[in-house]
Amino acid sequence: MSTLPQRYWRGLTGGRAVDEKPLAERGREGYGLWRRYWAALLGIRLPPKDAAQPPATRDNPLTEPYVQGARVRLPRFDRAAVRLAASEEPERMVARWAAAGRRFTVRESGPGGVELLVQVDREVPATEVLPVDVATVGDDRRYFLVFVPEPAGGSVGALRLAETSGWIDVTVDEELPVAALEAGDPVTRARIAQSVAATPDPGMATWAEIAASRPADDPLSQVIKDAAG
C-alpha cells in the first residue's frame, strides 16, 4: 500500500509503484509541471497525449510523366525499383522519359547522388531558367535549372543533387524569365544559391552570363558569384 506522499509524487512524475498494476496509462509528457501538480494533488489521472505521428509517405503512382500544360511531373525515381526492374545489374541506375517537348534523364551520380538532365529542341537563352521541384523523404526544394546549347542543336540543362534519399520525385514547370525572379526575396536568393551549387559545368557559364547581365549591386548577381565560389 502506498502512502499519500508516495502517490502524490508518482502522480507528479508519471511513475508508479512496483506492485501497482498498470490499469490505465498515465500521461506526463506534454503536460506542464503546474498541470501535473494539480492532477497529482486531486488524484486525477492525466490521459497520455497523442504522440506526434510521422508525416504520411507521399505517393507517386505515376508510370508515365503527367503533363498539365507546361508543367510535367515525372514518375518517382526509386533506386530499388529501378534496380529490381533491370534485366542485369547496371553500372548506375538510369530512367528516361519524354513529355511536353522535353526529354528527361534521371540517373545515379556517385554515392547518394542523383543527376537530372533536361533536353529541349530549341535554344534556350540565358535569360530563362526552368523551375524544378525536387521532393525526397522529408525534404522539398525548388531549383532553377539553366541551359547550354548542344552542338547538334537544342539545349540541355543539368542539376547534380547530392545526398538524396532512396527515391526522388521531380516536377518541372514552364521556363521563367530571370527578370521575374524577386531579387529582394530571401527565399529566392537561397534557391538561386542552391541551384548554382547544384549546377555542373558547362552550365556554370550560363550562370556567369546571368550575373554579368545584371547591375553590379544586384543582390542576385552577388548570390550567384558567392555560390560559384
Q: What is the pLDDT of residues 74-118, one digit of tens each?
A: 999 987 766 666 555 556 789 999 999 999 999 988 777 899 999
Do the domain assignments include residue 211?
Answer: yes
Q: How many CB atoms lie within 10 A of CB 172?
A: 25
Does 57 or 144 have the greater pLDDT score? Answer: 144
Distance CA 36, CA 47 (A): 11
pLDDT, position 53: 39
Is the distance from CB of 167 to CB of 128 less than 8 angstroms? no
pLDDT value of residue 9: 53
160-194: pLDDT as tens digits: 987 667 889 999 999 999 999 998 899 999 999 99
Nearest CA among 228, 97, 110 for reference residue 164: 110
**134-149: b (≥16 Cβ within 10 Å) or e:** bbbeeeeebbbbbbbe
Assess whether 77 and 161 both reside in one domain.
Answer: yes
To the question of pTM greater than 0.85 for the whole model, the response is no
Residue 83 resides in a domain: yes
Whether 205 has a pLDDT exceeding 60, the answer reads yes
Note down the domain range covering 10: 4-42
pLDDT on residue 111: 74
Domain membership of residue 222 (yes or no) is: yes
Q: Are residues 128 and 170 in the same domain?
A: yes
Residues 8 and 113 in one domain: no
Domain match, 37 and 80 both: no
Do residue 8 and residue 84 come from a single domain?
Answer: no
Q: What is the pLDDT of residue 57?
A: 47
Would the pLDDT of 142 be above 80? yes
Q: What is the pLDDT of residue 152?
A: 93
Residue 95 covered by a domain: yes
- pLDDT bin (cut points 50, 70, 90) of residue 3 is low
- 102 falls within a domain: yes
Please tell me the total count of domains within the chain: 2
Query: Would residue 166 count as lying in a domain?
Result: yes
Question: Do residues 190 and 89 both lie within one domain?
Answer: yes
pLDDT band at 51 (very low <50, low <70, confident <90, very high): very low
Assess whether 87 and 21 both reside in one domain.
Answer: no
The grid cell for 66 is 503527367
- On whether both 137 and 38 belong to a single domain, the answer is no
Looking at the chain, list the stretches that DSSP marks H as alpha helix, in order from N- to C-terminal side: 4-13, 33-42, 79-85, 186-197, 203-212, 219-228
Co-location of 15 and 94 in the same domain: no
199 is a domain residue: yes
For range 137-166, the mean pLDDT: 91
* Residue pair 207/146 in contact by the 8 Å Cβ criterion: yes
How many helices (H) and strands (E) the chain has is answered by 6, 12
Q: Is residue 47 a part of any domain in this protein?
A: no
Query: Are 182 and 105 within one domain?
Result: yes
Residues 126 and 21 in one domain: no
- 85 and 153 housed in the same domain: yes
